Amino acid sequence: MPELPDVEVYRRRLAHGALRRPVDEVRVHDATLLEGVTAEALATRMVGRRLTGTARRGKHLFARVSGGDHLVLHFGMTGVLLTDDVEEEPPRHTRVAWTLRGGTRLLFVNQRKLGHVALTGDADDYCRRHDLGPDALDVDGPALRRLLGGHRGSVKALLMDQSAIAGLGNIYTDEVLFHARLDPRRPADGIDVREAARVHRQLHRVVRVAVDAGADPARLPRGWLLHAREQGAPCPRGNGEVARVRVGGRSTYFCRACQS
């Protein structure tokens, strides 16, 4: 499921491959993913315009459209943003395709019909209406400490709560807590100052390493938990074994020996 690192990779792909050229065509193959906009309106408001910049808030990707709109992409469980050449056959499960002047195409591909494509005149207002908290990378140490201190549930549930801190999902939350050596079940408001600093540091490090690896699991370090998400698997630190528990309604993996 796309989380902050994946969406950051898509944002860079869009920023490097799809800005500043006029949109020649918008083709909606599946309108069920459109949110608050019809296929006709999406085309009318984008054809002839250019994408002029990108932003990301958590797992939401925004592209500024000349004329004042912002294209919003949310990837659900299986969404991918690709660029290709118009000569090629678009991949299966392409839901929306933007053809850009010069022959590049931007493709929103999504196997399962979760996620959405929207247009908004005001990206901040969109985030407010969708109850999106600050991006996880924009939360500094003191702000993270305040968030933890004000939350009675588990540290894992807080880190996954998109209205508190946007971007982490199930996999990367477990990864951050593994590197911060914290038990995901710990009550957030019991995390002390030094532990909170570890969470902050590891969150930034895990995201940076993941983005640098193109968010491709096969390229992520061997010592990461994500390669050992299985009950009883050896701890990637060679210290204990991986346990699976349910936290915040999600399957959660951690090492009882390393994380407390």
Nearer residue to Zn ion within complex by CB, 49 or 256: 256
In the residue annotation, 2 being an active-site residue is answered as yes
Nearest distance from residue 232's CB to Zn ion, in Å?
13
Q: Is 260 in the site for Zn ion (CB under 5 A)?
A: no
CA nearest neighbour of 248 among 186, 182, 194: 186
Q: Is 235 in the site for Zn ion (CB under 5 A)?
A: yes
Alpha-carbon span 139 to 200, nearest angstrom = 8
Q: Is 182 in the site for Zn ion (CB under 5 A)?
A: no
Nearest distance from residue 175's CB to Zn ion, in Å?
13
Nearer residue to Zn ion within complex by CB, 247 or 258: 258
Alpha-carbon span 2 to 75, nearest angstrom = 7
In the residue annotation, 217 being an active-site residue is answered as no
Pairing of strands 79-85, 94-100: unpaired
Alpha-carbon span 74 to 56, nearest angstrom = 10
Among 12, 237, 243, 245, binds Zn ion (CB under 5 A): 237
Residue tagged active-site, from 56, 59, 156, 198:
59
Nearest distance from residue 234's CB to Zn ion, in Å?
9
Contacts of 190 (CB under 8 A, 6+ apart): none
Query: What single DSSP character describes residue 34?
Result: B
| Six token digits for residue 208 | 């940076």
CA distance to 38, 93, 97, 145, 172, per residue, from 28 (Å):
9, 11, 6, 43, 32
Among 239, 244, 251, 260, binds Zn ion (CB under 5 A): 239
Contacts of 57 (CB under 8 A, 6+ apart): 123, 127, 132, 134, 135, 166
Q: Is 163 in the site for Zn ion (CB under 5 A)?
A: no
Among 15, 49, 240, 243, binds Zn ion (CB under 5 A): 240
In the residue annotation, 3 being an active-site residue is answered as yes
In the residue annotation, 59 being an active-site residue is answered as yes
Choose the stretch contacting Zn ion; rule: CB under 5 A; options: 121-129, 189-197, 225-233, 252-260.
252-260
Nearer residue to Zn ion within complex by CB, 139 or 228: 228
Cα 235 to the center of its chain, rounded Å: 26
Q: Is 226 in the site for Zn ion (CB under 5 A)?
A: no
Write out the catalytic residue numbers: 2-3, 59, 250
